Structure 1
Amino acid sequence: MKFLLLAFLLVCAGVSLARRVPRYTDIYDSIDIKTIVANRRLLLPYVLCVLGEGKCTAPGRELRSHIKEALETRCAKCTEAQQRGSRLVIAHLINHEPEYWAKLTAKYDPAGKFAKMYERELKEQV
């Protein structure tokens, strides 16, 4: 009986640990992405930072450090707020800033493996 209880506890612990996916920091989750996307003057510094063409704020550096992995994994390590925000930003870039979307995909997805998927999903969304 003790063996069954121990086995059950080990299985439960294993399932619990397997479900835990490391997440990106949520320190910037309260940033108002809609306001940034709606104002090109606020948006472009982030885009230029991620492209390595401009100065970076702390949130910009954090974004730049994870962008490739996040694009490739469909934001698997993102919080819910980051997932919503990334879809909003990507949709905006695809639909309203195609030149910057092209630069970003050339840098982070040169084979076009992930960009096409996002374009199919988010074309004309915003």
Structure 2
Amino acid sequence: MRLFFYILLAHLAIAEDKYTTKYDNVDIDAVISNERLLQNYIKCLLDLVVCSEDGSELKGNMPDAIQNNCAKCSDKQKEGSDKLILYLIENKPEYWQLLEEKYDPTGENTKKFIESKTMVTEKTDTYTTESGAKW
């Protein structure tokens, strides 16, 4: 549960070509539902508090993960990152705005992320039957 943002962009401890999978079993829903924990990671990423060890690793890898569309992330990390980012954009836009100002000041990567999620949603809707079953 300490890992709030490994999911944001799954960045804790870079391996040669992938980020570590050490934290892949973190319960993202538990992190999202813990406002205090969420705020602590946001503050860490914004240099407002001293970071925990995992927060420091996350912060160190954040720019690379954002610029390279989480290319070094495992599939599970990408899923968690997507879930957390969408949660922040939809439910905590004030947090997302601060993070975007620091890590994506042009908004280019956020725009690409939202467009990619829209394309996936549209593609998924194409394969939905009248009963709601998805193919």
TM bucket (normalised to shorter chain) is 0.7 to 0.9
Aligned pairs for 1:24-103 (under 5 A) are 24-103=19-98
The amino acid of 2:58's aligned partner reads L
Q: TM-score, normalised by structure 1?
A: 0.73
Question: Could you report, residue by residue, the CA deviation over 1:57-94 in whole angstroms, capped at 9, with x for unpaired residues?
Answer: 22211211111111121110011221111111101110
Which entry has the higher C-alpha Rg, 1 or 2? 1
Distance in 2 separating the partners of 1:31 and 1:55: 22
Aligned length: 104
RMSD (CA atoms): 2.0
Contact 1:91 1:122 in 2 (8 A): no
Percentage identity across paired residues of the two chains: 38
Task: Name 1:117's counterpart in structure 2.
Answer: 112
Measured against aligned partners, the alpha-carbon deviations of 1:44-66 in whole angstroms (never above 9, x if no partner) come to: 11111111112312221121111
Instruction: Give 5+ residue unaligned stretches, structure 2.
Output: 1-15, 122-135
Please identify runs of 4+ aligned residues in structure 1 that moved more than 6 A: none
Work out which structure has the larger RCO, using CA pairs closer than 8 Å and 6 or more positions apart in sequence.
2
CA drift of 1:110 comes to 0.9
Kindly provide the amino acid, as one letter, of the partner of residue 38 in structure 1: S
CA distance in structure 1 between the aligned counterparts of 2:117 and 2:34, rounded to whole angstroms? 20
- Provide closer, same or farther for how the CA distance between residues 77 and 102 of structure 1 changes in structure 2, counting only shifts above 3 A: same
2-structure distance, mates of 1:57, 1:81 = 23
TM-score (norm 2): 0.69
For residue 7 of structure 1, what is the aligned residue in structure 2?
A: none
